[in-house]
């Protein structure tokens, strides 16, 4: 049996789908407040509970040969106790349970856990995981949790750590930041963006890499699972090629985007998604080149072209949502 935390998330539900397709028996941890729509129609066992409940997690992991730990809280704001409690203490609970039940752990960390280097640097697995050299609560929490996993491997934990770049792709039921950007493009309302760029990877390629790593990777190894580095301008050009809207009229310099982002973030208090947040501006302004050469070499990892990912995502969004209503709600 395989256990998955965070199974209703974007990567989580795609991973669960692929595991079910291969005939695996899957148990998924779902928080009490979470909607299970992303998992509808799948032949799985659903366990309701909180990742912070140590006894519950111990029971959840019992009998699992492999535990995929994806559950996490992402926050663009400053200090957030929930982010630390879930991302660090929740991971500690999973580690303890995997040690007790001798389960293999595949932990999904983040490229943001790597120590920050000068802008434009190459980031690979030789860059240290250092919570004192990252920006933001989320990145710090993932760095701390990643180090907890690494330390536990010295105590006998069988674990591999996976660090995806920016995830895009279909089955984005909760509408991620990138999903929201695509919706705004489809509506023709994406008027302003910023300069910069990032590495984006297809959610299906990440899920495949997790499964391969669960079978092939050596314990204690870290892998960056990346795709294609692309500038924001080039990304919009690709979107216009796939679904012509010519919506973006202005690309802001980074310094101006940073100022504006602090005002647009206020939209979060009104349950609105906004394309420019302080963390998004910071991330897009670093222009890091993330190497997935190690994953290619040891996991036979080959990401698909980003144009295919964007096309498939747009097709999925158009077939899965009433975009008129969805866009109208998010634009109010």
Whether the predicted pLDDT of 164 surpasses 60: yes
What structural domains does the chain harbor? 2-167+200-227 (3.40.50.720), 171-198+229-331 (3.40.50.720)
Instruction: List the alpha helices (DSSP H) in the chain.
Output: 10-21, 54-61, 81-84, 90-101, 137-153, 177-187, 203-216, 232-242, 254-264, 278-286, 293-299, 306-320, 323-331
Q: How confident is the model at residue 327 (pLDDT cuts 50, 70, 90)?
A: very low
Whether 286 contacts 119, CB under 8 Å? yes
| Separation of alpha carbons 29 and 24, rounded Å | 16
Tokens of 67: 């535990």
Q: Residue 262: what pLDDT?
A: 75
Contact 309, 166 (CB under 8 A): no
249-260: b (≥16 Cβ within 10 Å) or e? eeebeeeebbeb
Q: Phi then psi for 69, rounded to 5 degrees?
A: -105, 105
Least confident span in 9-18, 73-82, 264-273: 264-273
> 274: which 2 tokens?
């906004």
Q: Is the pLDDT of residue 330 over 70?
A: no
CA distance 167 to 233: 18
Q: Which two tokens stand for residue 317?
A: 């969004």
Q: What is the pLDDT of residue 171?
A: 97
Task: Give residue-wise pLDDT tens across range 85-122.
Answer: 999 999 999 999 999 999 999 999 999 999 999 999 99
Residue 270's pLDDT is 44
pLDDT of residue 266: 54
Strands 104-108, 66-69: pairing is parallel
Say what the pLDDT of residue 77 is: 54
Which band of pLDDT confidence, cut at 50, 70 and 90, is reported for residue 36?
very high
Collapsing DSSP to helix, strand or coil, 156 comes out as: coil
| Contact indicator for 72, 31 with CB cutoff of 8 Å | no
Report the alpha-carbon distance of residue 38 to residue 6 in Å, rounded.
Answer: 11
* pLDDT exceeds cutoff 80 at 4: yes
DSSP per-residue letters across 272-306: ---S--HHHHHHHHH--EE--HHHHHHH---PPPH
332, two tokens: 């109010």
Q: Is the pLDDT of residue 291 over 80?
A: yes
Going by pLDDT thresholds of 50, 70 and 90, the confidence category of residue 331 is very low
Given this model, what pLDDT does residue 263 score?
A: 74
CA dist., res. 254 & res. 164, Å (int): 24
Which residue's entry shows tokens 């199974």? 7
Give me 273's structure tokens.
């998604």
Angle at 268 (CA atoms; ends 6, 109), nearest 5 degrees: 30
pLDDT in the model for residue 5: 98
For the ranges 233-242, 266-275, 299-308, which has the lowest average pLDDT? 266-275
């Amino acid at each position: 049996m395989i256990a998955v935390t965070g199974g209703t998330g974007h990567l989580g539900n795609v991973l669960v789908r692929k595991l079910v397709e291969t005939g695996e028996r899957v148990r998924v941890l779902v928080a009490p407040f979470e909607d299970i729509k992303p998992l509808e129609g799948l032949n799985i066992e659903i366990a309701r509970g909180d990742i912070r409940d140590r006894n519950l997690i111990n029971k959840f992991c019992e009998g699992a040969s492999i535990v995929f730990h994806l559950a996490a809280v992402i926050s663009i704001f400053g200090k957030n106790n929930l982010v630390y409690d879930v991302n660090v203490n929740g991971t500690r609970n999973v580690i303890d349970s995997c040690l007790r039940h001798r389960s293999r752990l595949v932990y999904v960390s983040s490229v943001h856990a790597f120590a920050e280097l000068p802008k434009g640097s190459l980031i690979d697995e030789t860059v240290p995981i250092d919570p004192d050299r990252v920006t933001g609560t989320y990145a710090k929490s993932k760095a701390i949790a990643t180090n907890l996993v690494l330390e536990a491997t010295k105590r006998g934990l069988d674990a591999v750590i996976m660090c995806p770049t920016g995830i895009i792709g279909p089955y984005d039921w909760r509408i991620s930041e990138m999903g929201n950007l695509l919706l705004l493009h489809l509506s023709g309302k994406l008027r302003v963006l910023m300069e910069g760029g990032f590495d984006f990877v297809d959610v299906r390629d990440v899920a495949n890499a997790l499964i391969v790593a669960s079978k092939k990777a050596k314990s204690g190894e870290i892998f960056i699972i990346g795709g294609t580095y692309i500038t924001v301008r080039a990304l919009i050009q690709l979107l216009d090629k796939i679904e012509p809207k010519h919506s973006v009229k202005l690309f802001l310099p980074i310094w101006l985007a940073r100022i504006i982002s602090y005002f647009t973030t206020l939209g979060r208090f009104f349950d609105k998604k906004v394309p420019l947040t302080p963390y998004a501006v910071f991330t897009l302004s670093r222009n890091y080149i993330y190497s997935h050469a190690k994953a290619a070499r040891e996991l036979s990892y080959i990401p698909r072209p980003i144009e295919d990912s964007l096309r498939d995502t747009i097709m999925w969004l158009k077939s899965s949502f009433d975009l008129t209503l969805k866009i109208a709600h998010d634009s109010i």
